[in-house]
Structure 1
Amino acid sequence: MPIVAQSDVRKISLRLIEGASLASWISTQTPEIRAWVEASGFGAAIGEVLALPGESGISAVLVGWGSAAARARDRFPLAAAAAKLPPGRYVLEPGDVPIDLSVEVLGWRLADYRFQRYRAGKASEVELVCPEGVDIERVETLARGAALAQDLINTPARDMGPETLEVAFATLAARHGAAFSVVRGGPALRAANLPMIEAVGAAAAEAPRLLDFVWGREDAPKVTLVGKGVCFDTGGLNIKPGASMGNMKKDMGGAATVMGLSEIIMSLGLDIRLRVLVPAVENAISSAAMRPGDILPSRKGLTVEVNNTDAEGRLVLADALALADEEAPELVVSFATLTGAARVALGPDVPPFFTDDEALAADLVDSSLRVADPLWRLPFWTPYEPLIEPGIADLDNAPAGGMAGAITAALFLRRFVTESPRYLHLDIYGWTPAAKPARPKGAAFQAARAVLALLENRYCRT
């Protein structure tokens, strides 16, 4: 459902009605409209719509706004109604209804996303006139960044391996004048001291690599984003069962998310020195595959015992984080589809985040609430540190027992960020299992808008 600027084209009013106000609104209408609404059974529930007749067709459309309690159950109530509207160009009439116009207009626009690489979709015939006070260019920029990430995640691994991800990454960098570089293949990764990225991707047909770009003025605050780019995850020699492997095209969701977020950051011109690092690999099986029990060196100098080859994401992230940390940026942020434990704890809609910085945590929670991009804090629980210390090596990539898996994975990553004053890790799912308002089934752009709001609040005040 596109967003359009104000024009002289005939527009249909969208009148938002809360459930508690419906009877009062009906009482002010003509007998004909009262009879029409009462006969329809319209109750002003969220997502409910009712077209009102006029002399030349539809005079207006009522949109249910439910109650505060109902709206708390899900986001983007305007988007819930958009898919049910007849073709036309609409203008909002919120009346006294509580509404955050910027959030709801963005939700309307996000609901328009369709993945059309393999099957053409029908263009939406429903348009919304951008309300006064809402920055239409910003809405389109946010939607473009989300669509970039969603397209990358939705693309099957056959067409989105490390090579293709590199092309997309380099194209993004070139579009914004960022300085792009890549370390590609085993010999180059060894020479660059990125041994765990090499080990994870050694069995794949396409060479493992580290993608890197830098953007922004040199003396601006340094922010580094690191995204897990496992383009497909078989589990390696600890092979996943078929049911668990079926959706592993999304295991590069962290990479896609930092790319979508970077598209937004650079388009908006945030005043930061942005660095983006993506270890791009495929966790495959061949004679070159890493084995359970192998001990790997790392860029940080720590040794890692591989007790499960299916816990590979933290290995590639660790080398990339160690590289990021050497510059001691003001903030390091990692995005990764890292653990099933995070999904068990919080489900698909609420990614956990980890940080030791209390002020940063508070700012991020506030940002997530303001932009309707939910997150929940989990602790870097230091008493669990012994769980990731196997004795035979410095670290264990897959502690036995299965408890606190999201936390132990986060603790593992924290060992590789020691020089930067602030580290934030987000364990995203990157997928919407069933369609919801403004979130079509498939790839999800999670936590990025919350982080964007955090960055704008902290580093880009005018």
Structure 2
Amino acid sequence: MPLTFADPSAEAIPLHLVETEALDSFLGDLPPRAAATARTLGFSGALGRSVILPGEDGTPEMALVGYGSASERARGRFHTAAAVPALPEGVYEIASGLPEDAAESEALGWLLASYRFDRYRTQGTIAAQLKVPAGVDPVRVEAMATAEALTRDLINTPASDMGPEELETALSDLGQEFGATVTAIVGDDLLAQNFPMIHAVGRASPRAPRLLEMTWGTAGPKLTLVGKGVCFDTGGLNLKPGSSMGLMKKDMGGAATVLGLAHMIMALELPLQLRVLIPAVENSVSGASFRPQDILTARNGETVEINNTDAEGRLVLADALALAAEDPPDLLVSMATLTGAARVAVGPDIAPFYTGDEDLAAALWAAGGKASDPCWRMPFHEPYEAMIEPGIADLDNAPSGGFAGSITAALFLRRFAGDCRYVHFDIYGWQPSPAPARPKGGAGQGARALLDALPAALGL
């Protein structure tokens, strides 16, 4: 669903963002009638509060939206969006109170507050529209908002309607929109073309596994995005308990986020060569399931001992990363809802990432704050390499002991990235409770930070 700004020619209601500490000064500058109305309605400048002040004819003359205090704003993001659902129908234009360095984030938050997942149930719509604030690039912000809506829609869709074939359709639709080329390797053709671990993970499901690929752009630096597309994860023969299986429709969140990032790149016509690789599978249970203690041989020849069939995401990513490394890009990115250990480390709101490139790490750190897309660097801790080497095979897909689960998974993936400049994101892909501009449900993480970091990372 496209999320867009109001028609720039539309008549708009002036909207003022008012900090709590500036409330008395602001009201003191208003006509006495307007100031008295604001006080009577209890407007305090608190985050999420709003009032409409009528003119003498009773029609809205201006809107006041609380912008809280600096300390309150430091504990969240998309502050203006908190008031959007309560604003009456109309077009609004921010007239004062918007810090220049927050303009893009607040504009994006307003658009994201309009998102609704209405495939299965009619949802109420947001009637308040925003004119593009001064200094904001509408094409860029609308691209980010629409990309996030795409990611959320894909994650929110249950596995009954979002299997490997439907994920292929989503990629094909995206490719068709921007003139990209999309191909798929399906079922037993994966074995014929040497993607044995993607096939092994997906072969138990009647929904055929596949490797999806999209290419776009013919000039500029090469960027390859790899997204985990496990459309549902039962855990395989190491079956998850019901309490852990409930959110497994989101286990393709890495693929959904990669599609969102690809949308932004193509919509903004970045001067680069884009390649997207998505191993799309369903990790099911049947007589064809791969088993604990099986040893699989990956595309690059590495052997992998299976010590837990519920650590399947790194297996399918490994084959895709090995393919990516055969034509080394200038930057290789993987995104996956990979480990619970990452959530224990940083919670659901932060996207941890791994890279050995100091300049890229610095760019991502800075971009996360600027793009309201918080990221945190985690270490490729070399001493833990021994933990992923079981002895009977080259690699162990699920080291015992329970320590450093996100780090060992990242080290496992790095073995397949060759000599590429590489960054891996271990995301959650889900908003567990509603927040301004972020309803409960699917959520993209890391994509906007990457978008913001790409110019520095690739010299664009």
TM-score, normalization: structure 2? 0.96
Q: 1:83 to 1:286 in 2, by over 3 A?
A: same
Given that residues 139 and 268 in structure 2 are in contact (C-alpha distance below 8 angstroms), is that contact kept between their aligned partners in structure 1?
no
> Relative to structure 2, which stretch is displaced further, 205-214 or 168-177?
168-177
Cα displacement string for residues 211-268 of structure 1 (whole angstroms, at most 9, x for unaligned residues): 0121111x42111000000000000000011111011111001111111111111111
1:73 lines up with 2:75 in the alignment:
yes
Distance in 2, Cα, partners of 1:243 & 1:178:
40
Per-residue deviation at 1:133?
2.7
Aligned to 1:342: 342
Runs of 5+ consecutive residues of structure 2 not aligned to the other structure: none
Per-residue deviation at 1:138?
2.2
Given that residues 360 and 457 in structure 2 are in contact (C-alpha distance below 8 angstroms), is that contact kept between their aligned partners in structure 1?
no
Identity of aligned residues (%): 56
Aligned to 2:64: 62
Q: 1:307 to 1:137 in 2, by over 3 A?
A: same
Of 154, 157, 162, the residue aligned with 1:155 is 157
Aligned to 1:214: 215
Per-residue deviation at 1:34?
3.4
Aligned to 1:137: 139
User: What secondary structure does 2:53 align onto?
Assistant: strand
Given that residues 18 and 97 in structure 1 are in contact (C-alpha distance below 8 angstroms), is that contact kept between their aligned partners in structure 2?
no
> Relative to structure 2, which stretch is displaced further, 204-213 or 126-135?
126-135
Per-residue deviation at 1:96?
7.0
1:380 lines up with 2:375 in the alignment:
no
Cα displacement string for residues 263-313 of structure 1 (whole angstroms, at most 9, x for unaligned residues): 111111111111100000000000000111111110111111110000000
User: What secondary structure does 1:318 align onto?
Assistant: helix
> Relative to structure 2, which stretch is displaced further, 346-355 or 133-142?
133-142
Per-residue deviation at 1:419?
2.3
Per-residue deviation at 1:460?
6.0
Whichever residue aligns with residue 157 of structure 2, its letter is T
Per-residue deviation at 1:369?
1.4
Q: 1:172 to 1:61 in 2, by over 3 A?
A: same
> Relative to structure 2, which stretch is displaced further, 314-323 or 173-182?
173-182
1:444 lines up with 2:443 in the alignment:
yes
User: What secondary structure does 2:86 align onto?
Assistant: coil
TM-score, normalization: structure 1? 0.96
Q: 1:48 to 1:99 in 2, by over 3 A?
A: farther
Aligned to 1:285: 285
Q: 1:460 to 1:102 in 2, by over 3 A?
A: farther
Aligned to 1:258: 258
Given that residues 326 and 419 in structure 1 are in contact (C-alpha distance below 8 angstroms), is that contact kept between their aligned partners in structure 2?
no
Distance in 2, Cα, partners of 1:407 & 1:285:
28
Aligned to 1:7: 9
Distance in 1, Cα, partners of 2:452 & 2:100:
22
Given that residues 380 and 411 in structure 2 are in contact (C-alpha distance below 8 angstroms), is that contact kept between their aligned partners in structure 1?
yes
Distance in 2, Cα, partners of 1:179 & 1:27:
60
1:48 lines up with 2:49 in the alignment:
yes
Distance in 2, Cα, partners of 1:196 & 1:5:
50
Distance in 1, Cα, partners of 2:82 & 2:124:
19
Given that residues 234 and 248 in structure 2 are in contact (C-alpha distance below 8 angstroms), is that contact kept between their aligned partners in structure 1?
yes
Aligned to 2:423: 424
Whichever residue aligns with residue 123 of structure 1, its letter is T
Distance in 1, Cα, partners of 2:180 & 2:239:
38
Q: 1:65 to 1:178 in 2, by over 3 A?
A: same
Count of aligned residue pairs for this structure pair: 457
Whichever residue aligns with residue 331 of structure 1, its letter is L
Q: 1:326 to 1:42 in 2, by over 3 A?
A: same
Aligned to 1:356: 356
Cα displacement string for residues 31-72 of structure 1 (whole angstroms, at most 9, x for unaligned residues): 333333333332211111122232123221211111111101
Cα displacement string for residues 315-361 of structure 1 (whole angstroms, at most 9, x for unaligned residues): 00001001101111111000000000111111111010000001110
Per-residue deviation at 1:8?
4.6
Distance in 1, Cα, partners of 2:100 & 2:67:
9
Aligned to 1:395: 395
Aligned to 2:302: 302
1:170 lines up with 2:172 in the alignment:
yes
Given that residues 108 and 438 in structure 1 are in contact (C-alpha distance below 8 angstroms), is that contact kept between their aligned partners in structure 2?
yes
Q: 1:98 to 1:173 in 2, by over 3 A?
A: closer
> Relative to structure 2, which stretch is displaced further, 148-157 or 136-145?
136-145
Aligned to 2:185: 183
Per-residue deviation at 1:195?
0.7
Q: 1:329 to 1:78 in 2, by over 3 A?
A: same
